[in-house]
Amino acid sequence: MGKAGIIEKMRLDGKSIFVTGGARGIGKSVAAAFCEAGANVAIVDVDLETAKETAAWLHETTGSDTMAVGTDVTDPAQVDSMVSAVTEKYGGLDAAFCNAGICINVPADEMSFEQWKKVIDINLTGVFLTAQAAGKVMLRQGYGSIINTASMSGHIVNVPQPQCAYNASKAGVIQLTKSMAVEWAKKGVRVNSISPGYIGTDLTLSSETLKPLIAQWNALSPIGRMGKPEELQAICVYLAGDTSAFTTGADFVIDGAFTCF
């Protein structure tokens, strides 16, 4: 029998992965791709009921083993408990998609400390806590892949909406990713980030606040449209699997060339 082809090598059969912010949007879409590739997937979200619905739907549609874990990613104790639950069920942790995030659009001179802190706590500290907890398991194992969700907003300043806290948090995620990657490179643990452009999730497309901005975003985009959540699936499957063994410390910008000028 011949050697396995690249498609077979990219499968994730038997691997265990957790996805934060996995109940909906980008997290749900990427979790579906992980399941379709054969992985066991934990849907981690502060909204436990929706996480349970997503986990059940993924199990029914893909046959993969799934679980739902209600977790506030800003709480170290809850994050540690979540990782313990995942590793106890699956016997280890092969990959983590640290994806939970929010955005609050308020001018910098009007933003309250509470609004600033909420964005930074979820988007940056939450990624640190979940990546750190995953990393501790993976360092003991001697292998693992962590994927953090940054944003093209870590590279540019979005217009016309004011979102200084979001932009700062995502720039922080990119540098956090590179720092962890360098620290853990010789220990078998890889850390990369994805930086999506504007993605048309159900939440974004249904938001009355954001709807008027979509036409402006599309006009600024060389490709002339928003991305789709499923257009982020392939890069995440690649990064979670063994074919990306030499890929660490990288930030993958998937933005329809938005940041090219």
What is the Cα–Cα distance from 55 to 213, expressed in whole angstroms? Answer: 32
Q: Which of 17-21, 107-111, 203-207, 228-232 is the least confident region?
A: 203-207
Catalytic residue status for 187: no
Count of structural domains within the chain:
1
The catalytically annotated residue of 28, 52, 166, 198 is 166
Can you tell me the mean pLDDT for 109-136? Answer: 98
- pLDDT for position 2: 59
Decide if 259 is inside a domain. no
pTM score of the predicted model: 0.96
- pLDDT for position 210: 85
Decide if 260 is inside a domain. no
Contact in structure between 24 and 54 (CB atoms under 8 Å): yes
Mean pLDDT of all residues belonging to the chain: 96
Q: Can you give the residue range of the structural domain that contains 211? A: 6-250
Contact in structure between 17 and 42 (CB atoms under 8 Å): yes
Can you tell me the mean pLDDT for 42-71? Answer: 98
The catalytically annotated residue of 151, 153, 169, 244 is 151
Q: Which of 37-46, 134-143, 209-218 is the least confident region?
A: 209-218
Catalytic residue status for 52: no
Residue 34 maps to which CATH number?
Answer: 3.40.50.720
129 has a pLDDT exceeding 70: yes
The catalytically annotated residue of 170, 195, 198, 244 is 170
Catalytic residue status for 170: yes
Q: What residues have CB less than 8 Å from 126, skipping those under 6 apart? A: 20, 73, 74, 98, 100, 101
Decide if 261 is inside a domain. no
Decide if 35 is inside a domain. yes
What is the Cα–Cα distance from 70 to 31, expressed in whole angstroms? Answer: 16
Q: If we measure between CA atoms, which residue out of 244, 247, 252 comes closest to residue 193?
A: 252
Can you tell me the mean pLDDT for 109-115? Answer: 98
Q: Residue 159 to residues 105, 164, 220, 249: CA-CA distances in angstroms?
A: 11, 11, 10, 28
Decide if 31 is inside a domain. yes
Decide if 67 is inside a domain. yes
The one-letter code for the residue type at 97 is F
What is the Cα–Cα distance from 64 to 55, expressed in whole angstroms? Answer: 10
- The crossing angle, in degrees rounded to 10, of helices 126-141 and 76-90 is 40
- pLDDT for position 69: 98
Percent of the chain at pLDDT > 70 equals 99
Decide if 55 is inside a domain. yes
Instruction: Give the residue carrying structure tokens 């220990």.
Output: 187
Can you tell me the mean pLDDT for 64-84? Answer: 98
Decide if 166 is inside a domain. yes
